[in-house]
Amino acid sequence: MALDRWIALVIFGVTCAYGYSAFFTMDQLLPPFMQRNPIWPSTFPKVIAVLTLITSLVVLLGLEKASGEEKTPDIDYRRLGDYKIGKALLLLGLMALYALALRPLGFLLSTVAFLSIGAVILGERKFHYLIPIAAVAAGVVWYLVEGVLGIFLRPWPFFVG
Hey, which residues between 98 and 127 contact another protein (CB under 8 A)? 98-100, 102-103, 111, 114-115, 118-119, 122-124
**Does residue 85 bind another protein (CB under 8 A)?**
yes
Q: Which of 13, 51, 143, 156 binds another protein (CB under 8 A)?
A: 51
In the 3-class helix/strand/coil scheme, how is the chain assigned residue by residue? CCHHHHHHHHHHHHHHHHHHHHHHHHHHHCCHHHHHCCCCCCHHHHHHHHHHHHHHHHHHCCCCCCCCCCCCCCCCHHHHHHCCHHHHHHHHHHHHHHHHHHHHHCHHHHHHHHHHHHHHHCCCCCHHHHHHHHHHHHHHHHHHHHHHCCCCCCCCCCCCC
**Does residue 140 bind another protein (CB under 8 A)?**
no
Residue type, 53: L
**Does residue 77 bind another protein (CB under 8 A)?**
yes
**Does residue 141 bind another protein (CB under 8 A)?**
yes
Residue type, 67: S
Q: Which of 1, 28, 32, 38 binds another protein (CB under 8 A)?
A: 38
**Does residue 23 bind another protein (CB under 8 A)?**
no
**Does residue 67 bind another protein (CB under 8 A)?**
yes
Least distance in Å: CB of 54 to another protein?
9
Q: Which of 9, 23, 27, 52 binds another protein (CB under 8 A)?
A: 52
The total of other beta-carbon atoms located within 10 Å of residue 115's CB is 19
Q: Which of 16, 131, 135, 145 binds another protein (CB under 8 A)?
A: 145
Least distance in Å: CB of 115 to another protein?
5
**Does residue 56 bind another protein (CB under 8 A)?**
yes
